[in-house]
Structure 1
Amino acid sequence: MMPPAQQIPAKHTVIPYYLIAVIAFLIVIGLCIPAAEVLTGHHFHPKILAITHLAVLGWATMLIFGASNQLAPVLSEHALYSEHIPCAVLVLLTAGTSLLVINFWRFSFGAAIFTGGSLVLLAFGLQAWNQFHTFRAGKESIATRFILTAQLWLLLTAALGLLLLINLRYSFLPASHLEYLKVHAAVGMAGWFLQLVTGVSSKLIPMFLLSQTTPNKLLSYTYYFFNGGLALFLITGIVAGPAVIAPIALLLILAGVIFYSRYVYICRRSAMRKRLDHGMRQTFLAISLLILPLVLLGISVLAGRRLPDGWGTAFGYSFMAGFISIIIMGQTFKTLPFIIWMHINSPDEPPELMPANLYREGLVRLQMWLYAPGYLLLITGILLGQVRLLYAGIGLMMLAAAVYAGHVLYIISKLKCKWKLTSAIPHL
């Protein structure tokens, strides 16, 4: 069903984000080739820092911002607060990310990298402002709470990141820089990505599956366990507390994941639509793969510093290249065709096409047949220190990214087409 006109934001608030994110995704995997030799080492390396920030900011966050500009009016049942702010956010985030990535790669900590960090923080602030006012004027739900809280954690992540950049130049923080870096990464992963994905998927999964049961009480438990664990981790990370607090914080976040997984299971079990398309299959694959970074994190917390350097890199890549990237790649072909469909059809006329007509299911299947084994080879190569496995994994992931990028461009190209299918049918 076509949503009301006021819930359909202008194309410039959504489509450019997808385009830039796709380009960033291709560059991220491409940069892994010259960086393959260092991926098995310590995660605090210039090339790893550059690739990680491009993946986080240019790929995942960029695409999430674009999708959020479309989903916020639908979830809140209210028009986007401003259609001008997304233009400013796009420019600031693109410029800031570019400055950060280039200077991380060079390991240069001059005015350019501080400017980049400041631009990213400003972009996040504007996005949060737009999202907050959109949801405040509309309908409130547990999904809304997740999304807005995730925006706050994202702002905190960016502020901590800028502080750490300054510390690398002037070294004024009392504890080790790497200890604060752990806090920065944890807040970004669990506070921003995990919480945002939980909030959005809590609406999209029941909607796409036509679930008859949506146990929102489980989502409330998830929300409080996530944020309780994050708050505890943040406090002990900044103010050095007892060593036992970090495992407790991890257990709280793990409990939140269990409640969320239970929610997804009940939605799946009560679904009227039993047959899953490949976009939804990839979504469930991504959720199941969340266990890998959690296991790696648990082992790292328990083992302390006795593990090889590559384990830290493997944990970060298992989260970003696995859970986050796979769920984004799957949901792209659930959300983008719908977005394009709204712009090529008129709300006042019966649609000649449906969203399912705008993409190719076989290409979605192909991208995951390539990406999933490539991802597993990548993580295995990092953990075992085998560069040949890394190159094999990167090669498969690059092919998958090329299929994904071409498919996204194919869908967006429909905006320029005038669909007149009925004219091709002889009138009797």
Structure 2
Amino acid sequence: MRLTGLNFDEIPRLDVPLRFYLTAPFFAVVVSLLLIWQGDYIWLGRWMPASLAITHLVAIGMMAMIMIGSLFQIMPVLCGAPIKIPPLPLILMQAGLIFGTLALSAGFFGWPTFGGSFLLLALSLGYFIVSLLRVLIFKAAGQQTRMPIMLAAIALGFVLLAGLLLLAGYLWGYYPVPGKNLTHLHAGTGIFGWVLLLIMAVSFQVIPMFHVTPEFPRYWRIALPVMLVIGLVSIVVATLVQVSFYFSSALIAGVGILYSIIGLSRLRARKRKLPDVVVSYWQWAYSCLILGCLLMIAMPIIPLPLQGKAEVFIALTIGMGFVLGVIQGMLLKIVPFLISLHLQPIAMANPNAMMLLPDHYSLISRKQMKIQFWLYLLGMVSIVVSLCYPPATASIGLVMLLNWLWIGYNILTASSMFYNVRKQMLAS
């Protein structure tokens, strides 16, 4: 991995990403309780109030929260340019995301909160998108990483715009295009634009760095994002001219499968063959993405009465299996990496403190990692069991609750060790 102009003075305080990371388990608890409460109602279709609320709590409260927190650290390391948001606006931005997401989810259950969510999410997400794009356009280097992240940020802008238009339809009854088409655009651009493009950009760098694999071939680092953008643009066109989304979805699904196969081949070729929980996370996450994308392509041959249930299963497989799987695995690498990164300047300034520098497995032990991974796998099993036997759906919520409480515990214990070690290093 090539670090682009790394400057320790440009790295944000550790509490900046950690505050976003520690917010995600809170939303996971809310999602878990909803899954336990609503149970098999979610299998009636993705248009059910519970399904919509859970989708947005996961997408914004968990996925986006962790991805935004990571971008504050990724940008100085990979692109040599930090996202500079002053402390008070940063607190207000995160508060807007938290309360805007909660208000949005409450609105799906009939609470009169859509107006508040419209304002809070427009301001908070809009502010972050503008701040990120300003850095990417005017200051960032590292073209191979900069362009995919910029495309992901633009996709997030489309996700926000489509979401605000849908909220405007709820509030004032106006849709510029049919609401269902706009919903497809909103969902597709969110999961395959903002999320998948960003995961691609990061994986091209961190998989070779963390797992000692061959680099992704340059032509795939260019071709995969380009093909994905072509598919996303075709969804926009299909929305405007009101034609079928199937061929656009099939193209995007094909890119997802191709990316997964290439990623799995990189991991198989890794030089360090020692067991690694994070490698297992990547392998299972890629497998879930392949399964979800294959089902997307096969949707026309699925019997019509089962298509609603299939859509929910695809969402759970890609969302919880792929996206949250990658996020869980990356947290096990990123949190110790960030702690070491923030302790290194102290150690370099004072050689006596070097002996106190903790290794990654003392911050989050192998046992802690394995417990987290097995809870993730148990969650995947509960999804399959619930598909076959919907009354068991509450088990998804129960396992998710345990999984994310454990993730919160792992982050908190590592953070506590950081502050203790930092105090000892400064004292030495």
TM-score by length of 1: 0.89
Q: Over residues 387-418 of structure 1, what are the superposed CA-to-partner deviations in whole Å (9 max), with x where a residue is unaligned?
A: 12x23343333222222221121112223313
Cα deviation, residue 3, structure 1: 5.3
Structure number with the bigger relative contact order (C-alpha 8 A, sep ≥ 6) is 2
2:411 pairs with 1:412: no
Of 260-269 and 148-157, the range deviating more from structure 2: 260-269
Partner residue, 2:294: 295
Q: Kindly tell me: are residues 235 and 35 of structure 1, through their superposed partners in 2, closer, same or farther at Cα, counting changes over 3 Å? A: same
Aligned equivalent of 2:120:
119
Letter in 2 for 1:372: L
For 1:9-88, list aligned pairs within 5 A.
9-84=12-87, 85-88=89-92
Which blocks of at least 5 consecutive residues in structure 1 are unaligned?
423-428
Give the stretch that moved more between structures: 408-417 or 59-68.
408-417
Query: Paired residue for 1:425?
Result: none
Separation of aligned partners in 2, 1:99 and 1:233: 28
Contact 1:221-1:259 at 8 Å conserved across structures = no
Question: Which amino acid in structure 2 is aligned with residue 119 of structure 1?
Answer: L
| 1:247-288 deviations in Å (ceiling 9; x for gaps) | 331332234224423542453355332324212321222112
Specify the SS of the correspondent of 1:80: coil
User: Residues 117 and 376 of structure 1: is their aligned pair in 2 closer, same or farther, counting only changes over 3 Å?
Assistant: farther
1:260 is aligned to 259
User: How many matched pairs?
Assistant: 415
Which residue is 2:342 aligned to?
A: 343
Cα drift, residue 239 of structure 1: 2.0
Deviation of 1:366 (Å): 1.3
CA contact (8 A) 1:219 1:263 kept: no
Moved more, 190-199 or 24-33: 24-33
Following the alignment from structure 1 to structure 2, what is the Cα–Cα distance between the partners of residues 33 and 258?
32
Counterpart position of 1:92: 96
SS at match of 1:211: coil
* Offset of residue 81 of structure 1: 3.5
Who is 2:235 aligned against?
A: 233
Q: Deviations over 1:154-212 (max 9, x none)?
A: 11111111111221243333765333222211111111111111111111111112234
- Are 2:214 and 2:269, in contact at CA under 8 Å, matched by a contact in 1? yes
**Kindly tell me: are residues 86 and 280 of structure 1, through their superposed partners in 2, closer, same or farther at Cα, counting changes over 3 Å?**
farther
Partner residue in 2 for 1:183? 185
What is the match of residue 279 of structure 2? 280
Partner-residue secondary structure (3-state), 1:40: helix
Asked whether the 8 Å contact 2:227–2:255 carries over to 1, the reply is yes
Equivalent of residue 172 in structure 2, options 154, 170, 173:
170
Match of 2:156 in 1: 154
Range moving further from structure 2, 393-402 or 60-69: 393-402
**Identity of counterpart residues, as a percentage?**
23
After alignment, is 270-279 or 355-364 more displaced?
270-279
Give distance in 2, aligned partners of 1:277 and 1:212.
17
- Contact 2:28/2:404, CA 8 A, preserved across alignment: yes
Distance 2:199 2:282 in 1: 11
Match for 1:201 among 203, 209, 214? 203
Report if aligned partners of 1:97, 1:116 keep a CA contact under 8 Å in 2.
yes
On the 8 A contact 1:222/1:255 being kept in 2, the answer is: no
CA distance in 1, matches of 2:157, 2:221: 23
2:31, 2:397 within 8 Å by CA — same for their partners in 1?
A: no
Alpha carbons 2:133, 2:150 under 8 Å: kept: yes
SS of equivalent to 2:167: helix
Q: Structure 1 155/379 Cα, relative in aligned 2: closer, same or farther at 3 Å? A: farther
Contact 1:375 1:397 in 2 (8 A): no
SS in 2 for 1:309: helix
Q: 1:261, 1:374 → 2: CA distance?
A: 21
Instruction: Tell me the alpha carbon deviations over residues 16-66 of structure 1, each in whole angstroms, 9 at most, x when there is no partner.
Output: 111111211222122210011311212112222111111111111001100
Preserved contact between residue 80 and residue 130 of structure 1 (Cα < 8 Å):
yes
What does residue 314 of structure 1 align with?
Answer: 313
Letter in 2 for 1:95: F
Q: Report the equivalent of 1:426.
A: none
**SS of 1:77's equivalent?**
coil
Deviation sequence 1:353-392 (CA, Å, 0-9, x none): 23332111111111221221322322441x335212x233
Relative to structure 1, the CA distance from residue 259 to residue 37 in structure 2 (aligned partners, 3 Å threshold; closer, same or farther) is closer
Q: Residue 194 of structure 2 aligns with which residue?
A: 192
The 10-residue stretch of structure 1 (52-61 or 116-125) with the greater mean CA deviation from structure 2: 116-125
Cα pair 1:229 1:252 within 8 Å, conserved: yes
- Flag the 1:291–1:212 CA change in 2: closer, same or farther, 3 A: closer
SS of the residue aligned with 2:36?
coil
